[in-house]
Amino acid sequence: MRSIFNTVTLTLALATVTPMVVSTPTTFAAETQVQPSRKQTSEHLTRHQTYPATRAELLASCKNLMEFSDGEKRWFAAHLPEGTYNSADEVMKVLYKK
């Protein structure tokens, strides 16, 4: 009787822990930053943005675009410092400095 109880307890514990272990990489992958292509970024900044623009305005413009993945949007936000930008070229220089 005791071994049946231990077996059931172990089974329930494994059933609870396994989904958490399996789902961890998915959560990590969702937080990954991916550098967007220069061409795509330049086109967005030239066509969809008016200047002067603050960092907040640039991020708001980028946030709802379907052409950028969530990872690309996170990269853009992580690499764009606070400030007011007067042109797409100015933003590009800050984002893709060598």
* Higher pLDDT pick, 79 / 23: 79
Does the pLDDT at position 1 exceed 90?
A: no
* Higher pLDDT pick, 73 / 16: 73
Query: At a CB cut-off of 8 Å and minimum separation 6, what does 62 contact?
Result: 44, 68, 73, 76, 77
Residue 54, φ and ψ in degrees, nearest 5: -85, 170
pLDDT tens-digit readout, 35-51: 998 998 999 899 889 99
pLDDT grade, residue 64 (50/70/90)? confident
